[in-house]
Structure 1
Amino acid sequence: MQILSVSSLKGGVGKTSVTMGLASAALHQGVRTLVVDLDPHADTTTGLAVSRGTGTEVGKLLRDAKRADIHSHVARSGWVDLLPEGRRAEAKLDVVVGSALSAMYDRPDIRTRDMRRLKLLLDRVSGYDLVLIDCPPSLSGLTRIGWAASAGVLMVAEPSLFSVAGTERTMRAIRMFSNEYAPQLTSAGVVVNRTRADSAEHEYRLLEMERLYKDKLMIPVLEENPFWQQIQGAAYPVHQWPGDQVRDLARSFDQLLRQLV
């Protein structure tokens, strides 16, 4: 089972969008997936079409980490119901739902024993090929909880000066955190989001990222798509969106997922 945290120390780069795109690719490819929504805003939970009131909030599970069994508390993504009937029985896309309650652990001075709470929960999980942890855009307690439970951190960046600088800070933070708390943790790669082929600035920043990140920069980069916001607003998987407007975007997520799993 591959456990990955999807992270950025800079907000607004599309971290949740990338999590949802990878979840859509996993569902499309038959990869059994669990998504853990650690962000108190719970946007991933909403985007994955989780029915209101189903599942147990991640904050409650973290609080009861020594005894709770995730299998009894996950919610099923509504995306599964959009698959052809013959594929629904075998498909698996579950969610540990997010909520504001998890913010109780989002402290900069989180204790080491609290940092291990999600790892305790996931150590008892089986039946999944992939776990995606959507982390908040900071290095406070919840991100550290996600990193402590993960084998790798998938960083999300945009082709902009501030995002490049933020990704460098994230890489340094991963190395320091790995040395001190989680020796298994590595940088899984950098996904570049919202690129535009007609932007000279984006072209320059992509070249800069190639130089800085070398083999960590994942190909393909994700191009900006005017339909992406509409898809998320509809809580719909990109691979099931009707028409050809996002077919290339869906293929990009397929290629990225194959490199990660």
Structure 2
Amino acid sequence: MIPMPARIIAVCNQKGGVGKTTLVTGLAEVYTQMMGKKVLVIDADPQYNTTSALGLSGPEFTLNDVLYGDESNNQKIFPGVAADAVLEVGEDWQSPNHSELGLIASERNLASRERDSMMAREHRLRIALKGVAEEYDIVLIDCPPSLGLLTVNALTAATHALLVSEPRVASVEGLAEIVTTIAEVQENLNEDIDIVGVVVNKVRKGRKDQDVWIEKIRTDFGELVLDPLLPDRELFAKAQAAAKPLKSFGSEAKVLRADLEQLARAIWKGSEA
């Protein structure tokens, strides 16, 4: 049986602080524990927040090692080498329905990969995932808040980009910048990548200043804006700090998990081949 190509979703915005880690971990929880999917999360941000949020600290083999390549062979990168870096997540994240959640972790030294100058440096993650991504139903890549080589690697490897924004000026400007980068990647490196949607995060009801930017995002992206808009809730930060999934917080997290499930299903449908 020939495995179906995975959905590889690069979660990105050029600006930081928009809640990408919260979204990635929340989607991973929904896909594995509520939808029974097999998920691989790749933490491509040197700040390693997703790695920490999924219950891991100081892993020995990370995405940095994968992208560095084989030191004994002129840093050559071999197809499928990413499989060697897949780690089990913390116990709290294990799914009761036996679907799997794997993680390729990050570390601060990953930032040094931004300065790589080897041949085909934009394709290293894509090569490393060859034959690996197909073992999963969906791969979620948490991109760094920049338009450097790590983000370009993620977009070159991805089938889709999921854009994340707060309803404020800096984040909306970041959306415009990442859209330009995606277009350049599509033209030069990965013609198959598409934008699967835009998630508006950290929304507070009754904030007229936010309403202006939400309307701007809807005007710019139309049907790509996914519903529901995610509310600004302290529980997201609380769960991330505790390195626990939202389910650990019982009824307090019921509405947030329902919102994330609705988004997860929309992304799943939008990324169908």
Shared fold (TM-score, shorter chain, > 0.5): yes
| Map 1:1-261 → 2, pairs under 5 A | 1-28=6-33, 29-50=35-56, 52-54=57-59, 56-64=61-69, 65-66=77-78, 69-79=81-91, 83-84=95-96, 87=97, 90-107=98-115, 113-125=120-132, 126-238=134-246, 240-261=247-268
* Aligned 8 A contact 2:80 2:131 in 1: no
* TM-score normalised to structure 2 length: 0.87
* Structure 2 Cα separation of the partners of residues 68 and 53 of structure 1: 23
CA contact (8 A) 2:15 2:174 kept: yes
Distance 2:194 2:157 in 1: 12
Shift of 1:55: 5.9
Aligned residues between the structures: 254
Q: What letter is aligned with 1:39? A: D
User: Which runs of 5 or more structure 2 residues have no equivalent in the other structure?
Assistant: 1-5, 70-76, 269-273
Which of structure 1's runs of 4+ aligned residues deviate more than 6 A?
none
Q: Is the 8 A contact 1:188 1:260 kept in 2?
A: yes
Contact 1:193 1:221 in 2 (8 A): yes
| C-alpha RMSD of the superposition | 1.8
Q: Percent identity?
A: 29
SS at match of 1:210: helix
Distance 2:111 2:103 in 1: 18
Deviations 1:140-197 (CA, angstroms, capped at 9, x unpaired): 0100111110011111100112211211121122112211211111112110100011
**Residues 213 and 111 of structure 1, relative CA distance in 2, 3 Å threshold:** farther
Tell me by how many angstroms 1:244 deviates: 2.0
Give the Cα separation in 1 of the matches to 2:17 and 2:111.
19
Q: Label 1:76 to 1:253 Cα distance change in 2 as closer, same or farther (>3 A).
A: same
CA contact (8 A) 1:60 1:101 kept: no
Q: TM-score, normalised by structure 1?
A: 0.91
- Structure 1: runs of 5 or more not aligned: none
